[in-house]
Amino acid sequence: MAEERGSTVRLRIDLAYDGGAFYGWARQPRLRTVQGELERALHMVLRVPDGDADEPLRLTVAGRTDTGVHAAHQVCHLDVGEPTLERCVGHMAVPAVEALRRRLSRALPPDIAIHGIAPAPEGFDARFSALERTYVYRISDAARPVDPRTRGFVLALGDRLDVEAMNAAAAMTLGLHDFGSFATPNPGGTTIREVKHARWTRIPDAPLVPAAESRGEGYATPAAESGLLCFTIVADAFARNMVRSLVNACVKVGQGRRTVEWFAGKMAEPLREGSTGPIAPQGLTLEHVAYPPDDGLAARAEAIRARRTL
């Protein structure tokens, strides 16, 4: 009933998830998705019937992750009527947003964690205000023994990869390029993106516990990510399948199955074909979404909306 709703508040929700058991972020009929689970839980704790045409609880997300891709730090927003939000306080002696955070956390499965809920600043849009996204792809190659505990977010490969060659390829992605060889365009969309950072790093062996805290002699437990090969990529935004396709191409170069020149050709002539498809999703994590300071949010969102609708 529209009369009851009064004014609307926009909430910023920060969260993380293990993507292993989800068909990606985006809600799909009859498939388990992160958006689907979150919206189901929101309808439950806010006591709004799912399918209420007057008050649909729909999330807008910063990075629509694919099937099997994880998020260590994802951001979305929700517009909700103030009376609806207030209703979820119930018998809790806390502000409505904190009550929502607690109830939502309890209603969610263990593969989704809410890191924070707060009223969004003026002009905030989880998708269009975002300045840049950071993704990391983690690989366990032959340089280190496989750790089965981390196999849900690390891809194991039997080869030993040539990091230098992979970085020669990765360096070519820096700047504004058409990533048409490495991405599936949205209908009417472009595959032009600006990559700000792209680098493969062998994570050094490091003890889990700092030396000062451990005993002077004997065995030191290594950090779980010691020896992994990690690809960090930062861009304003990513086209569909772009990170996993770039990773797959770099890995082929690192294995010696393709040359750096082949990669250069793919960058020079943006054309989607079989050799540049995406690598397995489980190694990929959305690590961060950055936003401008509060007074730049609205301007950023307007600029992005204008550019993407050209």
Catalytic positions = 66
What count of other Cβ atoms lies within 10 Å of the Cβ of residue 162? 15
What is the total count of residues that contact its own copies (CB under 8 A)? 49
Q: Of 51, 149, 211, 310, which one interacts with its own copies (CB under 8 A)?
A: 149
Q: Do 140 and 154 form a contact (C-beta atoms < 8 A)?
A: yes
- Any contact of residue 87 with its own copies (CB under 8 A)? no
Residue (37 or 125) nearer to its own copies, CB: 37
- Any contact of residue 92 with its own copies (CB under 8 A)? no
- Any contact of residue 37 with its own copies (CB under 8 A)? no
Residue (88 or 234) nearer to its own copies, CB: 234
- Any contact of residue 112 with its own copies (CB under 8 A)? yes
38: which 2 tokens? 């979150």
Q: Of 187, 211, 213, 310, which one interacts with its own copies (CB under 8 A)?
A: 213
- Any contact of residue 27 with its own copies (CB under 8 A)? no
Q: Show Cβ contacts of residue 89 under 8 Å, excluding neighbours closer than 6 positions.
A: 95, 96, 99
Q: Quickly list DSSP for 4-58.
A: HH-SEEEEEEEEEE-GGGSS-SS--TTS--HHHHHHHHHHHHTT--TT-SSS---
Which stretches does DSSP call E strand in the chain?
A: 8-17, 59-61, 70-81, 112-119, 132-140, 155-156, 175-178, 192-202, 229-235, 284-290
Q: Which of 193, 174, 186, 69 is nearest to 130 (CA)?
A: 193
- Any contact of residue 113 with its own copies (CB under 8 A)? yes
- Any contact of residue 94 with its own copies (CB under 8 A)? no
What count of other Cβ atoms lies within 10 Å of the Cβ of residue 96? 20
Quote the least distance from Cβ 166 to its own copies, whole Å. Answer: 13
- Any contact of residue 118 with its own copies (CB under 8 A)? no
- Any contact of residue 230 with its own copies (CB under 8 A)? yes
Q: Quickly list DSSP for 176-194.
A: EEE-TTS-BPPTT---EEE
Q: Of 29, 90, 145, 274, which one interacts with its own copies (CB under 8 A)?
A: 145
Quote the least distance from Cβ 112 to its own copies, whole Å. Answer: 6
> Do the strands 70-81 and 284-290 form a parallel or antiparallel pair, or are they unpaired?
parallel
- Residues annotated in the binding site for substrate, as ranges? 135
Binding site for its own copies (CB under 8 A): 16-18, 70, 72, 110-113, 115-116, 132, 134, 136, 145-153, 196-197, 199, 201, 203-204, 206, 208-210, 213-215, 218-219, 221, 223-225, 230, 232, 234, 285, 287-288, 290
